[in-house]
């Protein structure tokens, strides 16, 4: 481990209840190969990454520098989508799956800045995210924030645990950003999304963004990433991103580049990542 790597343990992070808890988390962290959450953290300027993540990140930047823009602008898309749902649609409950490592403008920070009574549940199964869960488990006095150590491949378990914090009889915004690309089979990815949305009531929303196979550079970067030993990530066609929203009412402007979805600048940077927000009727 390099001197700049995250230091895990009771003294470094109050998440741990005991030295045994810290040891169990450390045992789950594999620093011998890159990991998507740490790799992405490096691209957005975070410090919670290891040498293998940085080596791959630097290599990918040589192949396709645009992936850094994808990482950073996808985060901005998240903020705009959450603000829209909280301020314009009155959503007060958010279920963020595959949240990754905490950085700036996390879902709970954006939502509770707009509506202090918002309730947020984060879901991830990466041990380093668990180690830093304390950073996520902050909340306004009026709202609540919780973290679930769970797997995307078990939607029913996620919903069951989320119901301890969220009222699933009331609308929820389901957020899955830069995560579904890890599901190799597209039909399976759609099924997982459908099962999650089936457990949410009318008036709920789905927010998805993922990298797309819209340039040779992005495809090359994805292929190189998949050869690194990290959990593979498959870039999809734009139409496939749209397919996740079948049966939902898309919020304007529909499926769009993440930089152009309700853009706040007159000339947004084009990127190889698309996203959308849809409402369950």
Determine if residue 69 is left, alpha or beta; phi over 0 gives left, psi from -120 to 50 gives alpha, anything else beta: alpha
CA 32 – CA 229 distance, rounded (Å): 9
pLDDT of residue 201: 98
End-to-end CA gap in the chain: 50
Q: What is the pLDDT along the chain (281 residues), one digit of tens a residue?
A: 333 333 333 333 334 344 445 566 666 677 777 777 788 788 877 777 888 889 988 988 898 888 889 989 999 999 999 999 999 999 999 999 998 887 778 999 999 999 999 999 999 988 778 777 777 788 999 999 999 999 999 999 999 999 999 999 999 999 999 999 999 999 999 999 999 999 999 999 999 999 999 999 999 999 998 998 888 999 999 999 999 999 999 999 999 999 999 998 888 999 999 999 999 99
DSSP assigned state of 231: P
pLDDT of residue 22: 57
DSSP assigned state of 268: P
The residue assigned the tokens 């008036």 is 203
Q: Which residues partner with 256 through β-bridges?
A: 275
Which residues are within 8 A (CB) of 177 and not within 5 positions of it... i.e. 6 or more apart? 74, 77, 78, 96, 98, 207, 208, 209, 210, 275
pLDDT of residue 230: 84
DSSP assigned state of 144: E
Packed helices 66-87 and 51-63: angle between N→C axes, nearest 10 degrees? 100
CA 76 – CA 108 distance, rounded (Å): 14
This prediction has a pTM of 0.88
The residue assigned the tokens 């799956």 is 97
């Amino acid at each position: 481990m390099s001197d700049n790597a995250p230091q895990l343990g009771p003294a470094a992070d109050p998440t741990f209840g005991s030295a045994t808890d810290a040891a169990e988390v450390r045992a789950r962290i594999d620093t011998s190969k890159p990991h998507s959450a740490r790799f992405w953290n490096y691209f957005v300027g975070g410090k919670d990454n290891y040498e293998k993540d940085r080596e791959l990140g630097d290599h990918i930047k040589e192949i396709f520098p645009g992936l850094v823009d994808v990482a950073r602008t996808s985060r901005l898309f998240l903020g705009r989508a959450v603000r829209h749902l909280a301020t314009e649609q009155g959503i007060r409950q958010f279920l963020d799956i595959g949240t990754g490592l905490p950085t700036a403008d996390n879902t709970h920070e954006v939502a509770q800045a707009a509506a202090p009574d918002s309730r947020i549940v984060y879901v991830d199964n990466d041990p380093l995210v668990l180690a830093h869960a304390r950073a996520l488990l902050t909340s306004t006095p009026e709202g609540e924030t919780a973290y679930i150590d769970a797997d995307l491949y078990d939607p029913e378990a996620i919903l069951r645990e989320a119901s301890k914090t969220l009222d699933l009889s009331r609308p929820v915004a389901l957020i899955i950003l830069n995560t579904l690309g890890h599901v190799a089979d597209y039909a399976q990815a759609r099924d997982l999304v459908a099962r999650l949305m089936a457990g949410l009531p009318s008036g709920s929303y789905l927010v998805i963004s993922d990298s797309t196979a819209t340039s040779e550079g992005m495809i090359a970067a994805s292929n190189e990433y998949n050869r690194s030993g990290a959990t593979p990530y498959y870039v999809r066609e734009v139409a496939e991103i749209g397919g996740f929203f079948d049966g939902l009412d898309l919020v304007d402007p529909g499926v769009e580049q993440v930089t152009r979805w309700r853009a706040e600048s007159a000339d947004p940077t084009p990127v190889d990542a698309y996203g959308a927000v849809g409402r369950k009727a």
